[in-house]
A = this chain, B = another copy of it.
Amino acid sequence: MKSLQIFALKSSKIVDWGDSVFDIFLESIKNENFEIEDDDVITITSKIYSMEQKAAVILKDVIPSEEAIKLAEKSTLNPSLAQLVLNESKGEVYGAVYKAILAKTDYGLSANAGIDQSNCPEGYALLLPRNPDNAALEFKNRIKDALGKEVAVIITDSRTIPLKKGTSAVAIGVAGIDPIIDEKGKRDLYGYKMMITTRALADNLSTATNLLMGETDEKMPYGIIRGLEYARAHNVSVKSTLMPENYCLYFAPLLELINKTNET
């Protein structure tokens, strides 16, 4: 038998513009009498890093382009929001459905390039934090300095699974843990070599803590996984979790059709 534990920590306060995510974490574990241990994996919702970094825009100040206005019609989103999605994805949008634009960013395919209008002050649109790998590494190093513990850190964002309802989570920044487990060459139950199995460790840890963290008013932006066996890793980046476009089961067929449509 194997086992692990997952905790969600209540934040000592709602993270406001410019507040330190790390300082509030230290306050929160103190309030909860929670002790961090070596090899804990700490997950942090990206939203509070966006607040720390003030990675947000006053929506009505954004002037939508013609392309944004078209996208807004298709998605029934605010045209200024559609413009922000175009900006954040550098124009890489691949379609739209009700209230969501399919956009590609440095962190994969997502709805509206991760831009969020909930859980932030009215009139603002919250962007994803800038350089979340770096934010994760800094948090990990500050835990080492402040508490003497070696942990792994994952910054998370929400995501959906094709043709399934409801949100899961993925990693958009990592430190101290290899985000992918490669099982190529390992053997299956019958001793045959596995050909292509890799496991999305950091994404799966993000989803697991999300079970407790909530997305409404739970005020639980921090998750902790304890008891997981993993090898410590340095110089890691969430970039290594990205699938090349032409190997992606969902994206490659879409691209192929786009190319075909453009040819005709």
Chain A residues within CB distance 8 Å of chain B: 1-10, 14, 32, 34, 94-100, 102, 104, 108-109, 111, 118-122, 159-168, 170, 180-181, 183, 186-192, 194-201, 203-205, 207-208, 210-212, 215-217, 219-220, 228, 240-243, 245-254, 256-258, 260-261, 264
Instruction: Say whether B192 contacts A118, CB under 8 Å.
Output: yes
Tell me whether A195 and B162 are in contact in the complex, defined as CB-CB below 8 angstroms, given that A14-B189, A204-B211 are known contacts: no
A203 to B211, CA, bound (A): 10
Nearest CB in chain B: distance from A129 CB, A: 17
Nearest CB in chain B: distance from A153 CB, A: 17
Number of copies: 2
Instruction: Say whether A256 contacts B95, CB under 8 Å.
Output: yes
A215 to B97, CA, bound (A): 34
A111 to B258, CA, bound (A): 21
Which B residues are CB-close (under 8 A) to A6? Answer: 3-6, 208
Nearest CB in chain B: distance from A132 CB, A: 15
Nearest CB in chain B: distance from A171 CB, A: 9
Which B residues are CB-close (under 8 A) to A186? Answer: 216-217
Instruction: Say whether A4 contacts B163, CB under 8 Å.
Output: no
- Would you list 27 pairs from A and B whose C-beta atoms are within 8 A, ordered by A residue? A1-B10, A1-B34, A3-B5, A3-B8, A95-B253, A95-B256, A96-B253, A97-B246, A104-B163, A109-B162, A118-B188, A119-B190, A160-B249, A162-B162, A162-B248, A165-B242, A165-B243, A166-B180, A183-B215, A189-B219, A191-B217, A194-B215, A197-B215, A199-B210, A211-B228, A250-B250, A264-B264
